[in-house]
Every structure is written in structure tokens, then in C-alpha cells.
């Protein structure tokens, strides 16, 4: 009997101890802090050109950051300056008033017309008259500079758009750019001075068209015409070429007297003139 009671007491003690251990473990489990929450970093946000925030997937890559846009030039990419014509100096130079009130003497890029100011060269007055007709005082234009914005004389260098171009396409250049029109209608030769050569290929083609059509400066003939049977003229076979107009003359021609000495090129024969790309003068018909 006494043994049974002792066993019961032992079992009761074990039960109490077990209960206490279970409560302690449960309390420890409840009071343990939760695992730390992992917070993801905010997405990379880029400020776009428009001032709006772009999503992370539009962030620039290393390749984008190191290279410019490969897209072709759009109308909005053209650097155009609004101006109004004030007066024409000669065929390839005019004065314009800018929107800030300044006046700029502008030399047209890519072409060269005969002189009509200090020296009057053949077709110089006609070229100046053509430009005056295209640029009456007050006419609104757009001036487009190239890489080099001024020449050694301080003049602004520009392409003169008579109307705002929709894009820099050949059709727009033909229809709206005065530099191109002077070349197309035979009032100017091409003159490319680097680094300003944006439209040089077009001007090459336009001058070629004018020569083939015998327009303006080229009215006396074309470089492709066959030379006459006689290779000498009334001056014993010598001629004077004009490096500006690319025409050749009899030494007695009135145009020679008006020619800038720096443009005179002595030619020993008609064949030499033709081979050199000169065309006969329409006045003296050498």
C-alpha cells in the first residue's frame, strides 16, 4: 500500500515537471521575434527628355549612353533660324534681320555666283537680280547653318530656306532652298569648303543638270559638246578661261575686260579649254 502511494507521488511529480517544461517551450516559441522582413530596392527611374519619369526597364544601357541616336534626321532636328530679308549684296550674299533685332550678312553655303560688286563678272548682274527677286525686303526665311558658322570675313554661313522644310529631302531642297535654286537655274557653280558639306552631293547634281540643260551660266554650251573642226580662233589659237564661270573667251571678248584677274586662265587651244571642262562664251563664240 505504501509502495503504491509512493509510485503515485512520483508520477504526479513527473507530470508537474513535464507540464512546466511544455509551458516554457511554448512561451519561448511565442515570444521569439519574427524573421526580419526583406525589403526590395526601389526600381531604377530615369528622367526622360520630356521631364517625365520613365519606368525602370527604359533606363539607358551602357551602349545607349556611349552612342548617339542612329535615327535619320527628322524635321525637328534641323537647326533653323528665323530671319527676314533686308537687302541683297550679290548673287550669293544677302543681309537678314534676326528675331533678336541683329542684322547679319549671310554668305550662302555650297555655291558661288559671278561677282557683281567690286568686279562685275559675266552673269554676275543676272545672278544678283535672281537673288533680289527671290529675297524682296521683308521676306521671311529660315537660315540653316552647317558645322562652321562663319567665314574668315565674319559673315554668317547658311543655307537659305525660302519656306520651312518638312524634311531635308531632295524634293524639299529643290523646291525651297535658294542655294539649290541658284545652282539648278544656272546662276551658280558649286563651291564646297569643308567642313560645310551637308548638301554637297545635291549641289553637284544640280549644277550638272543646269550644264546639261544649258541654263544661265552654261547657255553657251556644255562640256560634253564636240569641239569645232578648227582648234584655233581669231587670236591665233589662244583663249582666256574664267575659273569662276568655267567659260572660255577670245582675248578680245568684252567679258575678258570685266573678268577678275585672279580668275583668268590662259589656254593654248580650244581643245585644251574643252578638255579642261570650260564651255564657250555665248558672246564671242570662240
Q: Is 87 a catalytic residue?
A: no
Cα angle: 119, vertex 123, 126; to 5 degrees: 105
| Comma-separated ranges of CATH 2.40.50.90 domains in the chain | 76-217
Q: Is 107 a catalytic residue?
A: yes
Per-residue pLDDT of the chain (286 residues; tens, 9 = 90+): 555 555 556 566 566 555 555 545 454 444 445 544 444 444 333 333 333 333 333 333 333 333 333 333 555 689 999 999 999 999 999 999 999 999 999 999 999 999 888 777 888 899 999 999 999 999 999 999 999 999 999 999 999 999 999 999 999 999 999 999 999 999 999 888 889 999 999 999 999 999 999 999 888 654 333 333 333 333 334 888 888 888 889 888 888 878 887 788 888 778 778 877 888 888 888 8
pLDDT, position 198:
96
Q: Which three cell numbers stand for residue 70?
A: 542612329
* Contact assessment for residue 180 and residue 209, using Cβ atoms and an 8 Å cutoff: no
pLDDT, position 16:
53
Active-site residue, from 107, 144, 211, 250: 107
The third-level CATH classification (topology) of the domain covering 76-217 is OB fold (Dihydrolipoamide Acetyltransferase, E2P) (2.40.50)
* Contact assessment for residue 136 and residue 85, using Cβ atoms and an 8 Å cutoff: yes
Active-site residue, from 115, 121, 122, 250: 115
Active-site residue, from 132, 155, 174, 208: 155
- The helix or strand, by DSSP H or E, that contains position 22, with its residue range, turns out to be helix 2-31
Q: Is 155 a catalytic residue?
A: yes
pLDDT, position 73:
54
Amino acid at each position: 500500500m505504501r509502495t503504491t502511494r509512493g509510485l503515485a507521488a512520483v508520477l504526479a511529480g513527473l507530470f508537474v515537471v513535464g507540464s512546466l517544461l511544455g509551458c516554457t517551450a511554448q512561451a519561448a516559441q511565442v515570444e521569439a521575434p519574427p524573421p526580419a522582413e526583406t525589403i526590395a530596392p526601389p526600381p531604377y527611374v530615369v528622367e526622360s527628355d520630356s521631364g517625365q519619369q520613365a519606368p525602370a526597364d527604359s533606363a539607358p544601357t551602357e551602349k545607349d549612353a556611349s552612342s548617339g541616336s542612329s535615327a535619320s534626321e527628322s524635321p525637328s532636328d534641323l537647326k533653323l533660324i528665323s530671319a527676314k530679308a533686308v537687302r541683297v549684296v550679290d548673287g550669293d550674299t544677302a543681309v537678314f534681320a534676326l528675331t533678336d533685332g541683329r542684322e547679319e550678312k549671310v554668305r550662302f553655303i555650297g555655291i558661288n555666283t559671278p561677282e557683281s560688286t567690286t568686279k562685275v563678272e559675266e552673269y554676275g548682274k543676272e545672278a544678283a537680280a535672281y537673288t533680289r527677286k527671290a529675297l524682296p525686303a521683308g521676306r521671311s526665311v529660315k537660315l540653316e547653318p552647317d558645322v562652321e558658322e562663319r567665314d574668315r570675313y565674319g559673315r554668317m554661313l547658311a543655307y537659305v530656306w525660302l519656306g520651312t522644310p518638312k524634311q531635308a529631302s531632295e524634293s524639299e531642297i529643290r523646291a525651297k532652298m535658294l542655294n539649290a535654286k541658284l545652282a539648278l537655274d544656272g546662276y551658280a557653280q558649286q563651291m564646297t569648303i569643308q567642313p560645310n558639306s551637308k548638301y554637297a552631293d545635291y549641289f553637284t547634281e544640280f549644277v550638272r543638270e543646269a550644264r546639261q540643260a544649258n541654263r544661265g551660266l552654261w547657255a553657251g554650251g556644255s562640256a560634253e559638246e564636240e569641239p569645232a573642226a578648227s582648234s584655233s580662233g581669231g587670236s591665233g589659237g589662244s583663249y582666256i578661261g574664267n575659273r569662276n564661270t568655267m567659260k572660255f573667251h577670245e582675248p578680245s571678248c568684252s567679258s575678258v575686260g570685266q573678268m577678275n584677274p585672279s580668275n583668268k586662265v590662259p589656254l593654248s587651244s580650244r581643245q585644251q579649254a574643252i578638255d579642261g571642262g570650260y564651255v564657250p562664251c555665248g558672246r564671242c563664240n570662240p
